[in-house]
Amino acid sequence: MRTDLAASYGEERLPRYTSYPTAPHFSPAIGADTYARWLSELPSNASASLYLHVPFCREMCWYCGCHTQIVRRDGLIAAYQRTLRSEIARVAETIGHRIKVEHIHFGGGTPTIMAPEAFAELMAAMRRAFFVLPSAEIAVEIDPRTLTAEMVEAMRLSGVNRASLGVQSFDPVVQRAINRVQSFEQTASVVDMLRRADIGGLNFDLIYGLPHQTVASCLDTARRSLELAPARFSVFGYAHVPDFKKHQRMINEDHLPDGLARHDQACAIANALKEAGYVQIGLDHFARPDDAMAVALGQGTLRRNFQGYTTDQGEVLLGFGASAIGHLPQGYVQNEVQIGAYARSIADGRLATAKGYGLTDDDRLRADIIERIMCEFGADLADICARHGAEPEAILRSASRLKPLISDGVVRLDAGRLAVASDSRFLVRSVAAAFDAHLDPGKQLHSRAV
């Protein structure tokens, strides 16, 4: 790994490219009427993935970048669940036929904050509205500090087969600094409960770049996590954006590691996981060699969406809940972010779309290039451009940010094939950004490149 490059590029603020164009470019010009038309145009043989956003937690983790709020009263959660069911019915009615579903993902917030019976009712509503395939992956994000045995049983009966556990760090000093105290024993107990319920597809989320974190504490967290042998890891760099997430002001910036220290932490975690036999998947995921995600990487079918790297091959993602984002062949849509505005839209019998983006041919071309770079650390520009009826020379002329990356040895370009150097892969977002026609480097909307 080249620390000179980490110093040169590491402080730049860049998207994670879970979509292209990215969400800051969505516009109110795309509203509920447009979304309804896009839904009605879906063919009868289309298949979809569903994302359900549950924006509630019992307490705020100060590093959090999600759309969520703290609730003490379960009545608010129950009302929200009823609104979700109404939205599901409204979207299904607008589509006009029972679309196939291959993936369901519950995100948050803390989806398991719902009552077990409410979760079961929500799953039943989705099965009524859509044809959820028997082989569908059904995943739920979990806070191990609050998960109950009753909720695990409801998940089992509802067909959940994958769970993502927030771990972040096992260092008690770091945990206190981010307001998330979670012992190894708590996490191990939840892992045991899930496995006994035959929910065996386990993912762990780790974070580097947190206050007081060191290489040693990151390694200790990685090694202790490995004792529990999850199928996958997601390893993210903390994005400190206190202007947008006010609660992050509770974190003392003087205690945050700089770009070089973040780079060292990321490398230490990655090396520990790879030494344990996990395959690195793109920038920040790791999987066992026999896991479906590692297989997809080997077959060249790995994709990227709002949940990060995925095996999902579908072109339709239906988002439900406040702030949820959907993706259709025509473009992106996002629901009202505020829970009240979202609920009022659904109560009035409307879709809750607040903004979106209609894709152009140039967007689709650049999205394909960026996705391959993010997934495979390279792209066959000649092949991708040929499929889109474009010229590689034209796309390269527009990628002025690529020139210094080539000069610095980060990127090799040969006969229309672009490849990120093996010692520079931590800068893959910088390479992807070279093809981003919408990027405004002056805006601090995103996390550090390293």
Q: How close are the terminal C-alpha atoms of the chain, in Å? A: 12
Query: CATH 1.10.10.920 in the chain, residues?
Result: 1-23+360-450
Which part of the chain has CATH 3.80.30.20? Answer: 24-325
How far apart (Å, rounded) are the C-alpha atoms in residues 160 and 105?
A: 10
Angle between helices 74-95 and 32-40 (to 10 degrees): 50
Least Cα distance to 156 among 114, 191, 197, 119 occurs for 197
Confidence at residue 449, expressed as pLDDT on a 0 to 100 scale: 53
What pLDDT score was predicted for residue 335? 98
Q: What is the DSSP letter of 147?
A: -
Residue 285, H or E segment: strand 285-287
List average pLDDT for each run of 10 residues in the chain, which is 450 residues long: 69 87 95 98 96 96 92 94 98 97 96 96 98 97 96 98 97 97 97 97 97 98 98 94 91 92 93 97 95 95 92 93 97 97 98 98 97 96 96 94 94 94 91 93 56
Q: Read off the tokens for 444.
A: 């601090």
pLDDT score, position 442: 57
Q: What is the pLDDT of residue 314?
A: 84
Gap between the Cα atoms of 166 and 235, Å rounded: 11
- Give the pLDDT of residue 4: 73
Specify the CATH number for 24-325; select among 3.90.420.10, 3.80.30.20, 2.30.40.10, 1.10.10.1100. Answer: 3.80.30.20
Beta pairing, strands 285-287 & 47-54: unpaired
Predicted local confidence at residue 5, as pLDDT: 78
pLDDT of res. 3: 66
Architecture of domain 1-23+360-450: Orthogonal Bundle (1.10)
Between CA 409 and CA 424 the distance in angstroms is 8
Measure the CA–CA gap between 35 and 86, rounded to whole angstroms: 17
Cα–Cα–Cα angle for 194, 200, 202, rounded to 5 degrees? 85
- Encoding tokens for residue 58? 């019992």
